[in-house]
Amino acid sequence: MYMFRRDFIKFTSLGAASLFLPPQLIPALNISKVGAFTPLRKNVGFYTDRGGTIGWMVNDEGVVVIDAQFPESAENLIGEIRKQTDQKVNFLINTHHHGDHTGGNIAFKEMTEHVFAHENSKANQMRVAKERGNEEGQLYPDMTFEEEWSNQIGDETITCSYHGRGHTNGDIITHFENANIVHMGDLVFNRRFPYIDKSAGAHIGNWIHILDHTVKRFDEDTIFIFGHSGEGFEITGSIEDVKAFTNYLEQLMLEVEKGIEAGKSLQDLKKEMTVVKGAPQWSGNGIERSLDAAYMELTEGE
């Protein structure tokens, strides 16, 4: 069993991190349909509707759901699961606390035995719901973990692991070991500018380490499910897509660091940059959030 060592995850040098990438990765042309309940391999699949991509497993012994989107889309998903089985959901797993991943938890109130997440995700969910006066609409995890957790259901082993701060301070990676399918939550934005939630402890430097480790831990056969993707890009992919997003984060930090060294302000960088040099597949709206976070991390160390 893999044991993650915190000592390894300190961010050492931006310059040391470099990746070979083909000049142009060919964009996938299949766009997932809205409300698509899609099998991938060995009883594991994904569901897209509105919000972060849902992962699911339905076998003879039980049901696992990863993330819940919003109440309406969660109801739609439950309808799809009911076409497959009458069993209760054993675990609803939250990859992290954001509303487009946990807002639909409430729809599972009567039909899941457990809601499961990292302890920081639960704390974030409770804090944000309190701040927004929306505690009524929440279903909080009744089970949390710190570093690693595994459970066997039928012929599938589900392993969740936590590797420190990334997109928030509570993101987990879920591995369906038999199917060799990994749900990355929002640790990968496939060809789409990421949301980097500094208000919930995000850290780009450690995020890069999480992804480097992910690339070493899994293989060419692994199917990855991503929380979000850019228009025209899929919400599933391979280890190459994980490497490509790692490269995006590395290039972002390098370009912002260069700008700071040249005496540029955050406003200057926002005016100048529409894409990150070295990762042009990340385009469209939303680069500001990357620049805000990278600038903060490089100037304030947080």
What is the contact surface with Zn ion in residues (CB under 5 A)? 98, 186
The CA distance from 171 to 261, in Å, is 31
Closer residue to Zn ion, CB minimum distance, 186 or 255: 186
Query: 29 with 234: CB under 8 angstroms?
Result: no
* Beta carbon of residue 69, minimum distance to Zn ion (angstroms, whole number): 12
Closer residue to Zn ion, CB minimum distance, 98 or 165: 98
Sheet of strand 236-237, all strands in order from the earlier edge strand to the far edge = 148-153, 156-162, 172-176, 181-183, 223-225, 236-237
Phi and psi at 294, nearest 5°, equal -65, -40
* Beta carbon of residue 249, minimum distance to Zn ion (angstroms, whole number): 15
* Beta carbon of residue 195, minimum distance to Zn ion (angstroms, whole number): 6
Closer residue to Zn ion, CB minimum distance, 17 or 118: 118
Closer residue to Zn ion, CB minimum distance, 226 or 254: 226
CB count in 10 Å sphere of residue 70: 21
Closer residue to Zn ion, CB minimum distance, 98 or 191: 98
Coil, helix or strand at residue 104 = helix
The CA distance from 179 to 197, in Å, is 31
Amino acid making up residue 261: E
Crossing angle of helices 239-261 and 204-217, in 10° steps, is: 150
* Beta carbon of residue 286, minimum distance to Zn ion (angstroms, whole number): 13
Query: 241 with 224: CB under 8 angstroms?
Result: yes
For 43, the token pair is 């009883």
The CA distance from 210 to 29, in Å, is 28
Angle at 52 between CA 51 and CA 58, to 5 degrees: 110
* Beta carbon of residue 98, minimum distance to Zn ion (angstroms, whole number): 4
Closer residue to Zn ion, CB minimum distance, 59 or 162: 162
* Beta carbon of residue 154, minimum distance to Zn ion (angstroms, whole number): 30
Closer residue to Zn ion, CB minimum distance, 98 or 243: 98
* Beta carbon of residue 41, minimum distance to Zn ion (angstroms, whole number): 25
Which helix (H) or strand (E) covers residue 113, if one does? strand 112-118
Q: How far is CA 198 from CA 111, 171, 201, 247, in A?
A: 34, 13, 5, 20
